[in-house]
Structures are given as C-alpha cells and as structure tokens.
Chains A and B, each alone.
Chain A
C-alpha cells in the first residue's frame, strides 16, 4: 500500500509523501519542496487534492492544510508562445 503512486508526473509514491509528513511538512508546498509532488507536467492538478487529503488525515488537527499557489504560466506552454 505504501508504494502506490501519488504524483504520476514525477513518479512520487505514497511512502515518500508520508516520509515528508514525518519530516515535518504540514502544507502541500512543504511536501512539494521535499519530494517534488506537483512539480511535473500537470502542476498538481491531479495529485494536489490527494496530497491535501493525506496531510489532513495525518495532521488530524481539523485545519485545512495550505495549498500551493498557482503560478503563470498555468499550463505547459512552448517558450515561443511566451517570448513572441
């Protein structure tokens, strides 16, 4: 169960996310900085809600863990589209 993939883009498994929580991460960006969840092609569109659910249940203090901030560009875009 602990080696199930959570972030498909970056190939991050549940065990790594749980280790990050163990290490003190208490927000989605905290986990992102430790194990790269949400740093791939989809920018967390798939894994962020799951990571938040895991965090919420592990922290168990009833507060909603912080989400990452959306950044521009919000979708993958070729450099040519940005610089022209």
Chain B
C-alpha cells in the first residue's frame, strides 16, 4: 500500500493528525498493535474541573470512538491488531498483517506513546499483581474488577485518578501506599518527595477534599516538611492515602493474598512494626516512559531528558526530528495528558502538510499556540518539571537539531 503519510499509533495524537491531514488532501494510514483505536484514551474516565461546565466529564472512550469514526469516514486506512515491526529507508513500514505486509509513505509520523515502568517488589509477579495502567483499562474499558479488595502502591497523579475511577466503579480500594525505598524501585519515593509531586494533581479532583489538600500542599509546603507529614491518614473518596507507609512485599502461594506494610519517617526510614493487610489485588504505579524503540531504529538522534520522562527523539517546536520526513507527536515526545497529545497531533499534521507544500486548517504558529493552551488547560500533569524539560529540549534542538 502507498500513502502520503504513515502514522504509527492510533492514540489521541495519531488519530487527530490523520484527520487533519486527510482533510487537507493527503492520503493517510494509521497502524496500531492494539485491537481497537484510541490508545490510552480508552481507559480514561474522570471529571475535569478546568473544563467548561458542560464538558466536565472526560470520557476517553467516547472521544476515541468519535475520532475513529471521523477518521474512517474521511477515508483514513486504520490497521488495528497489526504490529509495525520495522521501518526502513524513507519509508517502508513492515507489518504483521495477513495481506498487506508493507506500507510505503513519503512521511512517517511516530505517535507510539509510552510504556509503563514496572515496580518490582517481592511478590510482584504473583497473579493479582497488576500495573496501574492495566487496572485502568480493565476498570473503564472492559468493566472488569481487578479484585475484591485492592491496594495501590505508588501515590502519583495517575494512580490517584485510577483510584477515583475504581471507586466510581464500585471497587473496594483498601488504601494507597508508597513504593519501597530501594534501588530497584528508584530512590525517590520518600513521603516528602511524594507530596512535592502531588501538588500537580490538585486540579484533577472530582471532590473538594483533594483539591483543598493540593492547594494546602502547594502553599504550605515548607511547613508540611517541618511537621513531618502529619497527613499520615488522609482520605480521598473514602480511601486512606498512607503518605507515610510503604509496601514491603506481596505475599501469597498461588496468587496475591496479603501485603506487608511498613510505616516510614518523612525521609523514608522505617519506623515501628510492619503490619499485614489482606488484599487480593495490588496495583503497582511507577510512572510512564516514552516508547522510542521504532524511532531508535530510524537512526534519529535521541536525547535523555528525565523531566520529560526519559529518552525521547530530539525534535523541534514544530515536531520535526533530525531525520527529514520523520515527525513525532504524543507521549513519545514526553509524558503529558491526552489534551496535549491531541494538540501535538494537530501540530505535527500541519507541519507535515507544510513540508509537502500544502496548507492545513490552521498555521503551524497557531497550532503551536493551541498546544501551549492545551498544556495550561490540562487537568493533571504527570511530571512536575515538564516545562523545564521542554526548555532543555528546545536548547538542545537549537544546538544540534538543524538538519
């Protein structure tokens, strides 16, 4: 199959880009390894207090369905359940598809998104141990309860939103605790560090309690440390958030039966006796990292920017990379929310249109401004220093990125 643009990843940025490009005269194919389009949108279901009153509920699955319907209606070729296992010379995309084994395109847009970081603790591979992202998909997309009584390890914007989603679905969430302080789970999970990261979740909350808490944490942060986190027993939506307890291990012979928890001081040192809590599922949350494997095989320059979530393709403000005809959009450029991904898809699309001598529905400059707006309007930020990360990236691009 021959198209003007091949897009890898049918998430919010990939689908948005496809629609913009086909509406302005390009032929487009989108490939995704999941069985249906939508990417991480499919699992999202929460209330967005920053949105207009009639748009408060963010139902990712509906948004994914609308994008898919629009794209298909316009004639975008969407391949699902298909793996793009290799890309070569501008551009041949090799597919695991029974009939179409290759797509040839002028431009390649990588919108491959992100992958979850694992959180290894003893017992994490027992059945009933599940990543937070998988728990979100089970809850909101497949409507399957991950357990009767669930503990969440890892207190961060994503795990808090999934906890609220699970509670809304009627699942008994027994509590949220910190990961262990160990080299294997990264040495950045002390109570103080956790609270510092949580201030960004303040806007998300569908109830006023956490909103109040977030503002409190922001305004009173120095004093909070001084008082060594007296909030050891904060409750959100009826779920205890143990900011000073960390998980030690998961126990069970055939599957998850219990967790061992340990109280810790504000800087993460063990205090007092460990305790046992019976649960049948543990959700593990350690954050996301950009999925760059396909990008790496193209030979484009990669840069490691921890503020953006890890290694990403070096790219400019218009989503161009160091390789001509290769563009990026969405979480492959840094971990942010779906609204930013949609705006990045739009931006990449108008950049690609421009590179092929066509006009988009808006200019590149307007699309950049839309992206900045989306960033400000995002209900939650996954990474606290994303702005510094973007600044760092832009400096690197100015220095090394010129093709």
Contacts and interface: CB of A to CB of B under 8 A. Distances in A.
B111 interface: no
B187 A57 contact: yes
Interface string B360-379: 00000000000000000000
A82 to B, nearest CB: 8
Contact of B294 (A47, A70, A84): A70
Contacts of B85: 72-75, 77, 81
Interface in B263-303: 289, 291-294, 296-297
Nearest to B83: A75
B196 interface: no
Interface size classification for chain A: 20 to 34
Contacts, number: 77
Interface string A1-33: 100111010000010000000000000000000
Contacts of B83: 75, 77
Given A47-B118, A49-B117, A49-B289, A70 B297 contact: yes
Contact of A70 (B95, B186, B293): B293
A58 interface: yes
A74 B294 CA distance: 7
B155 to A, nearest CB: 18
Contact of B120 (A4, A58, A72): A4
A39 interface: no
A47 B289 CA distance: 12
Q: Is the interface of A mostly helix, strand, loop or mixed?
A: loop
Contacts of B297: 70-72, 74
Interface in B80-129: 83, 85-86, 88, 94-96, 101, 115, 117-118, 120-125
B296 A4 contact: no
Contacts of B294: 70, 74
A84 to B, nearest CB: 6
Interface of A: 1, 4-6, 8, 14, 43, 45-47, 49-50, 53-54, 57-58, 64, 67, 69-75, 77-78, 81-82, 84
Give the 9 A-B CB pairs with smallest separation, nearest first.
Answer: A70-B293, A57-B183, A73-B85, A70-B296, A72-B86, A77-B85, A74-B293, A4-B122, A75-B83
Interface of B: 33, 83, 85-86, 88, 94-96, 101, 115, 117-118, 120-125, 182-187, 289, 291-294, 296-297, 304, 310-311
10 contacts: A4-B121, A5-B125, A6-B184, A14-B120, A47-B118, A50-B184, A57-B186, A73-B94, A75-B33, A77-B96
Given A53-B183, A77-B83, 17 more contacts: A4-B121, A5-B125, A8-B125, A14-B120, A45-B291, A50-B117, A53-B185, A54-B184, A57-B186, A70-B293, A73-B94, A74-B86, A75-B33, A75-B83, A75-B96, A77-B85, A81-B94
